[in-house]
Amino acid sequence: MYALKGNLIWTEEPGCFRVLENGYLLIKDDRIAAVSAEPFAGVMTEDFGSRLIIPGLYDLHLHAPQYMFAGLFMDDELLVWLDKHTFPLEARFSDIDFAAKAYKAFVDDLKYSFTVRASVFGTIHKDSTLLLMSLLEEAGLHGYVGKVSMDRNSPDSLRETTADAIEDELEFLDKVSEYRNVKPIVTPRFIPSCSDGLLCALGSISKEHDLPVQTHLDENPGEIEWVKELMPDSKSYAEAYERFGLLDTKSIMAHCVWITEEEMDILQSHGSYIAHSPSSNMNLSSGIAPVRRFLERGMNIGLATDTAGGSSLSMLRMITDAIASSKLRWRLVDDSLAPLRFSEAFYLASKGGGSFFGNAGSFEEGYAADILVLDDASSEMTVLSPELSLPEKLEFYAYRAPDRRPFAKYVAGKRIV
Ligand code: GUN
Ligand code: FE
């Protein structure tokens, strides 16, 4: 048992910050045991002074192999970007030495980011993906990693036969039991990359092994048109996934930029998650997801970098990009959907996405002890600092210092930074 002292700030629901200046956070094992204005007698306490103490942030969707080219090739939109750049570069992860180099760089940076848990795509390569899992585990990070499944519409170098894809997935699942904190997730890339037979098998595997699922949904108009051609009997893209048993409370659908109300009904009936990826949606010219509508409907939603659609691993940047893109949508597309407020976007990045990993992303009793300590005493922010409220300090930090390292980072009660 130990305690942390500092300026505590968190959200328990969208739109409302909780704050405790010079407060105390009690941690027992891997959980938050209590929040208090008074010190905990007889408990070893680390004093972080005036620094901000916030819950960990959760990246609901990113591609580990793509980190090495995050910030390159932003001139094309999704389908061209995949064919021209992403598929050929992911094919290189068949070489385990290459994968080791690329994944080490990724995990080193993720460790010092604001992300405590993430849901990550690997590549189709089983051994490289297992290596990625060991590196994440060693770094003290938690989350899910998927061996990507693809059996059509990609180059020979990044495609498996349907039978191999199924067999490899099962072999992959056999080998992941040694990891404690990094768990497998069934990962059909998206409908254009997966035959009906493969989607059907992956739906069964997720049910039989009680595993979560991650994939892409309604990201780009060209992609959606293609899915209509590939799935002529489905009413919609979401319904196609539903038909194969891939929608559940433990499913993450990345993007949902062009999702219809009927598809939202489908996702909501299963309690599936939306991974809102504002930076990626701008970089790949995908569009602007109706996040306010998701919130109005009470859907499960979190934020995501979608690296390398997004060029940054910073979840603070995702917060400010989600706000900025919602403002453009409100001004240019639909003024009935109000822009996100800072407190709402912060909620999405913390408890919103955190709930996919259990009770996480808040300082409520029994929640995972995922904690970030931010140094707000940086030079550019000191002039006004003494006059600011804690939410204002946090907003200032998110906009001005999104690429800084956290001063301290705890995942499930264990300090890793
Ligand atoms: N859809 C299918 N694959 C991908 C990918 O790697 N990135 C993004 N943004 N969308 C995809
Ligand atoms: Fe993606």
Which residue has the least CA distance to atom 3 on ligand 1? Answer: 189
Q: What is the pLDDT of residue 386?
A: 82
Residue 65's pLDDT is 98
pTM for this predicted structure = 0.98
Q: Residue 410: its pLDDT value, please?
A: 98
- Atom nearest to 280 CA in ligand 1: 9
Rounded distance from Cα 334 to ligand 1 centre (Å)? 26
What pLDDT does 194 receive?
Answer: 98
Q: Please report the pLDDT score of residue 385 as a whole number.
A: 80
Structural domains present in the chain: 2-55+362-415 (2.30.40.10), 57-357 (3.20.20.140)
**187 ligand 1 Cβ < 6 A:** no
pLDDT computed for residue 383 by the predictor:
81
pLDDT tens track, the chain, 417 positions: 999 999 999 999 999 999 999 999 999 999 999 999 999 999 999 999 999 999 999 999 999 999 999 999 999 999 999 999 999 999 999 999 999 999 999 999 999 999 999 999 999 999 999 999 999 999 999 999 999 999 999 999 999 999 999 999 999 999 999 899 999 999 999 999 999 999 999 999 999 999 999 999 999 999 999 999 999 999 999 999 999 999 999 999 999 999 999 999 999 999 999 999 999 999 999 999 999 999 999 999 999 999 999 999 999 999 999 999 999 999 999 999 999 999 999 999 999 999 999 999 999 999 999 999 998 766 667 788 888 999 999 999 999 999 999 999 999 999 999
Distance (Å) from CA 242 to ligand 2 centroid: 19
CA distances from 370 to 74, 209, 255, 387 (A): 33, 27, 25, 28
* Contact status, residue 312 vs residue 283, Cβ threshold 8 Å: no
Pocket test for ligand 1, best of 78, 80, 81, 252 (most atoms within 8 A of CB): 78
Cα(306) to ligand 2 centroid in Å equals 5
